[in-house]
Amino acid sequence: MWTSYLIYVFIAIGLTFNGLGVVGLLRFPDVYTRLHAATKATTFGSIFTSLGVVTWAFTQLYLSGNSWNLTLALHSLIAIAALLLTNPVGAHAIARAAYKSGVKPKYAVVDRLEVGK
């Protein structure tokens, strides 16, 4: 079916961005810039791989009518929602903990948090 091409596109986008996240983790100089790469790119990539699963499951549901596929699709959607809600909070907590334990942002042109406290 035509949705198989859609699945390929979703998985390709997802893997590309997950890979870019990993490369960013290796290339960036300090904690904060690495968190940029780690949170944004991997959240986005994981959303697209999960969307690939959802598309596959709905295609199977349409073809076979087996309700197990509906469960798979809904659980993937819940996983997407959970990822979207928890990933930024985790990044926020890591950044704040790093700052509180005295890690300064490298090459920073401005640091309002230091001036403020």
Partner 1 sequence: MIAFIITTVVAFVIYLVLTAGSGHFMMFWAPSEIVMGIFLSLIVGAITKNYLCKSGNYRMLNPARWLLFIVYGIGPFFWAMAKANLDVAYRVITGKIRPGIVKIDPKLNTDFAVTFLANSITLTPGTLTVDVDDDNVLYVHWINVPYGEEKKEYASIGKVCGSFPRWARRVADD
Residues in contact with partner 1, shown as a per-residue x/- string from 64 to 103 under the rule CB under 8 A:
---xxxxx--xx--x-----xx-xxx-xx--xx--x----
Between CA 56 and CA 73 the distance in angstroms is 8
60 binds partner 1 (CB under 8 A): no
Show Cβ contacts of residue 22 under 8 Å, excluding neighbours closer than 6 positions: none
Whose tokens are 């929602």? That residue is: 81
CA-based nearest residue to 38, from 25, 53, 55, 52: 25
Q: Residue numbers of the site for partner 1 (CB under 8 A)?
A: 17, 20-21, 23-24, 27-30, 32-33, 35-37, 39-41, 43-44, 67-71, 74-75, 78, 84-85, 87-89, 91-92, 95-96, 99, 105-114, 116
